[in-house]
Structure 1
Amino acid sequence: MTWTRAAVAAMVDHTLLKPEARAADVSALVAEAADLGVYAVCVSPSLVPVAAGGSSGLVIAAVAGFPSGKHVSDIKAQEAALAVAAGAGEVDMVIDVGAAVAGDLAAVRADVAAVRAAVPDAVLKVIVESAALLTLAGEQTLVEVCRAAAEAGAEFVKTSTGFHPAGGASVRAVEIMAATVGPTVAVKASGGIRTAADAVAMLDAGATRLGLSGTRAVLDGLS
């Protein structure tokens, strides 16, 4: 498939999750997102009101349990609920990767279900840290975690926070995830996607959403 600039832009969450991000940075992110024609912006929960205030119709996504996933499930759920109340339409939550590596799929499923229950009307994306799972536990664990997220009500499984030392998205991870839960549950590729070629590879592998921080550079590589 030939991916055009406009088609790829319409699948992008333009993302700013740096700890040092300021309100002014988010306002600039929203303005750039509108200029680029992307689908959504993704920001930290405390900055959702800033993004929502200047969104001009853009979808607002917020993260929960970010970036470690080691928060208590009730905290993740409350964080998600507060973000939605402030204007977010989507929530990207992080699983407890340690529980997944240990094979405690019941804990992973319950964690996702807690956030799902707290934000029943929001789109829920579950960040599985695919690079860490593949490195520490193997492909079958990635498959089982994606199934658990789907069973708990996620609309998306997402590769990465972009903050884990194991790395970000990979074509192999996206292929596994899409084969496991698609087409009922979608796949978001995020983390380390810096070029148009990277983006196209993820889309060709089965991703239907991209998390990008360097969005303009990626889109500039497309016609």
Structure 2
Amino acid sequence: MEYNKLVDHTLLKPEALSKDIDKLIEEAKTYNFKSICIAPSYIKYAKEKLAGTDILICTVIGFPLGYNATSVKVYETKIAISHGADEIDMVINIGRFKDKEYEYVLNEIKAIKNECGDKILKVIVETALLTNEEIEKITEIVLQSGADFIKTSTGFSYRGASFEDIKIMKKIAKDNLLIKASGGIKNGDDAIEMVKLGANRLGMSKSVNIMEDLKNK
């Protein structure tokens, strides 16, 4: 298993500096990660630094709280792609979802997917704030929307992905929707288990340590 090609090497801290982005990029090159996941304002900067590599640029939309108006999220997506983003990780409107406004959530995801065109869309649902039944329901909605991935977490709530989250998502998604486990993956064993349970992508900030740990597995 080439775990490195499952990794979105992530730096989304609000205090991140350009030198931190440089370090992230160099690590991504060293380990040949699938992508780097960065704030939208650094897309152009990273695009230049990654020229000549196959490392993708992933960015975030409506992040981290998800309660922007849909039109704002769509515009954010448009700008991000024009700057060179290859993959878009959007946050759903969690309150509207928990209020059972399922049509609103579905239409928002569809609008952003439409703006993405042939770019990959991952839908962040913040499982820490959802019940198991709600995780099942949002997986159904994301599946219906035409998005490419459902993603567990922003990494900014009180917990990230759990094994149970992935089990529930996989039960609904089967092989019809990809799954990104994000946040809280602390070591190689966590990464291995997430993939066994059905994760197709791993969003991690400790990617280098985890890759080194995996060498010993």
Shared topology, TM-score over 0.5?
yes
Contact 2:127–2:153 (CA<8 Å) still a contact in 1? Answer: yes
RMSD across aligned positions (CA): 1.1
The letter of the residue matching 1:74 is: S
The equivalent residue for 1:152 is: 145
Q: Which amino acid aligns with 2:126?
A: E
1:222: Cα distance to partner? 1.1
Aligned: 1:23 with 2:18:
yes
1:13 aligns to 2:5 (yes or no):
no
Runs of 5+ consecutive residues of structure 2 not aligned to the other structure: none
**1:54 is matched with which residue: 25, 49, 52?**
49
Give the superposition deviation at 1:150: 1.8
Equivalent-residue separation in structure 2 for 1:151 and 1:204 (angstroms): 24
Q: TM-score w.r.t. structure 1 length? A: 0.92
Aligned mates of 2:186, 2:132 — CA distance in 1: 25
How far 1:24 sits from its partner (Å)?
Answer: 2.3
Q: Is the 8 A contact 1:105 1:144 kept in 2?
A: no
Q: Identity across aligned pairs (percent)?
A: 36
User: Which residue does the alignment assign to 2:166?
Assistant: 174
2:194 to 202, 213, 222: 202
CA deviation string 1:3-52 (max 9, x = no partner): 5xxx1111000001010112222122111101012111000111111111
d(CA) in 2 for partners of 1:156, 1:42: 15
Output the amino acid matched with 2:71.
Answer: D
Instruction: Identify the match of residue 107 of structure 2 among 106, 110, 117.
Output: 110
- Relative to the length of structure 2, the TM-score reads 0.95
* Aligned partner of residue 78 in structure 2, secondary structure: helix
User: Secondary structure of 1:142's match?
Assistant: helix
Q: Where do 5+ consecutive residues of structure 1 fail to align?
A: none
- Opposite residue 22 of structure 1, the aligned amino acid is L
Aligned residues: 213
1:101 matched to 2:98: yes
Select the residue among 40, 60, 75 that pairs with 1:45. 40
